[in-house]
Amino acid sequence: MRIDYRVPQPIALDISLDIEGFCVLLGRSGEGKSTLLKAVAGLLSARGTPYDNLPPERRPIGYLPQGYALFPHLSVWENIAFALRGPKSAQRAEAQTLLERVRLADLADRRPHTLSGGQQQRIALARALARKPELLLLDEPTSALDATTRDQILGELIELIGALGIPALAVTHDPHLAAMADRMAVLSRGRIVQQGTPSEVFGAPAGVEVARLVGYHNLFEGRITQRTQTETRVSCDDIGLNVALAHGAPSHGRVILALRADDIDLGYADTVPTHGHNQLPARIARLRMHGLGLHLCCDAGLAVALEVQIPRRTPRHDPLHVGSEVTLSCAPTAIRMLPAVD
């Protein structure tokens, strides 16, 4: 499915987007992601295809807003039946069928506040399915989920939507959700600046803005000094780095190098270097716990400190602290080379 929408306000948008399977639109807060969903759902003035000639109540769209908007005084089945018409007995039967589709048939008489965040999300999905939609819209589906169970719940939701065979568009600022999608797009300044599969977008961001959004924490300037058949040599503050050649990458002049924090390995002065990898002596400037690992900021002689994400216990189990002398290593294939921003 393809959507083309022009929204004049409250945020100007000019969007052309291909939706296949579970699609995620990634963008910073305030970029207009929720505005686009409301435009497609007919909840604000916009021009576009499909559906712009239909009032909201006639659009074949299932809409899951942030927070799910479940009625606390109604039971689960009554929340679903709110989107149905006909005799109450028929509504109850249809609601039960929808609950079976989202695998929550035994919760029909419960109140929303007694359910987990993931269960509430699936109840909202069942209510959206009551409209017999040909498109599902999900507004920040990770916002109400507990971090410890988020991956499992989202995985189940994406699997469920895939089994239903209905294309879905979820909007988020969370690159973790985008990485789980069948297809993704990046929104910036009112337009789609890149779209494709997650492996395409994460593996080859189209520019600095996209790189930042998909988790490249290390961005620094360099200048191309040499090219071979397989690699480019880039000078960054008098430090030379080898970067693997990639289709469409700059061939000369100033560039921006992008490197993910978890693509940098940490070693010590006596660590045997990995053949062909870039090696940088560095000093730890800051460190903090981050989930099950450590997040380090390291001074490696570049204009910016390098952010490094490693497991909490290093191979030698040596304690790390501010001031520790280490060696940073990264493969040429881990570095993305982007056009310089003037």
CATH number at residue 329: 2.40.50.140
Containing structural domain, residue 134: 2-212
In this structure, the strands spanning 183-188 and 22-26 are parallel
Phi and psi (nearest 5°) for 274?
Answer: -75, 130
Distances from the Cα of 211 to the Cα of 27, 189, 240, 251, angstroms? 12, 15, 22, 19
Residue where a domain terminates, one of 194, 212, 230 = 212
> What's the length of the chain?
342
* 17-61 tens-digit pLDDT: 999 999 999 999 999 999 999 999 999 989 999 998 899 999 999
Q: What is the pTM of this model?
A: 0.87
Cross-strand bridge partners of residue 172:
26
Cross-strand bridge partners of residue 289:
294
Distance of CA 280 to the CA centre of its chain: 30
Residues 172 and 311 in one domain: no
Residues 140 and 11 in one domain: yes
* Contact status, residue 219 vs residue 210, Cβ threshold 8 Å: no
Residues 261 and 190 in one domain: no
Alpha-carbon dihedral of residues 114, 116, 118, 122, nearest 10 degrees?
-10
**Total count of domains within the chain:** 2
Report long-range pairs for 269-274 (Cβ below 8 Å, ≥24 apart): 269/325, 269/327, 271/327, 273/327, 273/329, 274/329, 274/331
Residues 183 and 331 in one domain: no
Residues 99 and 161 in one domain: yes
**Helix and strand element counts for the chain (H, E):** 8, 19
Residues 154 and 249 in one domain: no
CATH number for the domain harbouring residue 144: 3.40.50.300
Q: What percent of the chain has pLDDT over 90?
A: 66
Residue 292 pLDDT > 80:
no
Candidate from 101-110, 148-157, 165-174, 301-310 with smallest mean pLDDT = 148-157
Phi and psi (nearest 5°) for 93?
Answer: -65, -45
Residues 192 and 262 in one domain: no
Residue where a domain terminates, one of 157, 178, 212 = 212
Residue where a domain terminates, one of 185, 212, 239 = 212
Residues 228 and 142 in one domain: no
Residues 307 and 181 in one domain: no
Residue 342 pLDDT > 80:
no
Residues 172 and 199 in one domain: yes
Q: Which two tokens stand for residue 110?
A: 């419960």
Residues 113 and 97 in one domain: yes
Residues 29 and 173 in one domain: yes
